[in-house]
Amino acid sequence: MSEARRRIAVLMGGMSSEHEVSLRSGAGVVGALRGKGHEVLPVTIGKDGLWAFGEAGPLPFPDAVSRLAALRPDCVFIALHGGPGEDGRIQGLLDLMGLPYTTSGSLANALAMDKIRAKAIVAAAGVRVARQVVMDAAAWRRDRDELLARLRSDIGTPCVIKAPCQGSSCGMTINNDDAALAADVDAIMAVEGRILAEEYIRGTEVTCGVLDVAPGAAPRALPVTEICPRRSAFFDYNEKYAADGAEEITPARIPEETARMVGETAVLVHQVIGCAIWSRSDFMIGPQGPVWIEVNTVPGLTPTSLFPQAAAAVGISYADLMELFVESAMRASQSRLRQ
């Protein structure tokens, strides 16, 4: 780990449905980096879009950008989930400001955030994905009966219905009642004006982190984690964040060959999407083997979140992991400046 003392701004909060989760991640990051001896400034973005630097009063966005530029931190740690923090907008801003940051770049974030487009890229690389139907609100209003028939014939029920650009399982449901299919589509369509409906895959839910911090080395798959929801049919918001939520088992109780396939696929997805530093891919292991679901470029970062759990399984502590992200971000920024 680095012995240099860095000035690090930690962005958290944000305007997305994952605001509260982001605050938890940010608090964990702040504590870990301060424990490592770094100068850390929490920057909390409110649901109203105002930025608060430490204990100072909130600032509107233009003033906040000026404040961040004046502070000139060595690195910006992005602990924002969803919205601008995970769709490439914050990364683009920081690129223009010349500030290093701890996530993939703006293009990879934007692509990964859109599950429909990310899935198309990943499928083109030969990765097994779930069968799907995509529709927007205009088509749904115009041809509701035809689209319902297509859903039933192409993917059947039960099925998974998602708003394509949400995270933490927000804007998602599993339809188990064919009679309620139209109502479920209506509910999720209202979130973004389009949906991604996928076949429901019965099997074991797993996730695999990819660590991409070693200079000159290939990205590395961390141990696979098995996710066992206690009450819900899937890994929903409550299963993720409630104290008595899902059981998370690392390493996953799956055959060694299956775990190898999951790890290799997670690394491939990381590369074809263009991710850097870290990512985490989610899978369902069905009767035919692993099926890739999505990639997360800024997954949860509390000390007990899935990615830190997997890192701990190979001997990387939470605080060391946070510092690895910072050091990798600074090397990546220096490399971009030389190009």
Give the DSSP letter string of 71-98. H--SEEEE---SHHHHSSHHHHHHHHHT
**Can you list the positions of beta strands (E) in the chain?**
7-13, 39-45, 51-53, 75-78, 132-136, 159-162, 172-175, 194-199, 204-212, 220-221, 225-228, 247-249, 277-286, 289-296
Q: Is 256 a catalytic residue?
A: no
What single letter denotes the amino acid at residue 89? R
- Among the listed residues 300, 305, 318, 323, the single catalytic one is 300
Q: Is 282 a catalytic residue?
A: yes
- Among the listed residues 18, 205, 239, 248, the single catalytic one is 18
238 token code pair? 């409550």
DSSP state of 40: E
Q: Is 37 a catalytic residue?
A: no
What single letter denotes the amino acid at residue 118? A
- Among the listed residues 16, 25, 296, 328, the single catalytic one is 296
First to last CA, the chain: 26
- Among the listed residues 294, 318, 327, 328, the single catalytic one is 294
- Among the listed residues 6, 24, 194, 280, the single catalytic one is 280
Query: Which residues, at least 6 apart from 329, have a Cβ–Cβ distance to it below 8 Å?
Result: 75, 77, 100, 101, 102, 103, 277
- Alpha-carbon gap, residue 45 to 39, rounded angstroms: 19
Cα Dmax for the chain = 63
Q: Is 296 a catalytic residue?
A: yes
Q: Is 300 a catalytic residue?
A: yes
In the numeric block, the tokens 């997670």 are attached to: 266
52 token code pair? 């608060």
C-alpha closest to that of 295 among 274, 309, 321, 311: 274
- Among the listed residues 236, 239, 282, 327, the single catalytic one is 282
305 token code pair? 């979140």
- Among the listed residues 25, 241, 305, 328, the single catalytic one is 241
The H or E element that residue 68 is part of is helix 61-71
Contact 91, 103 (CB under 8 A): yes
Q: Is 18 a catalytic residue?
A: yes
- Among the listed residues 16, 104, 109, 168, the single catalytic one is 168
Residues identified as active-site: 18, 168, 241, 280, 282, 294, 296, 300
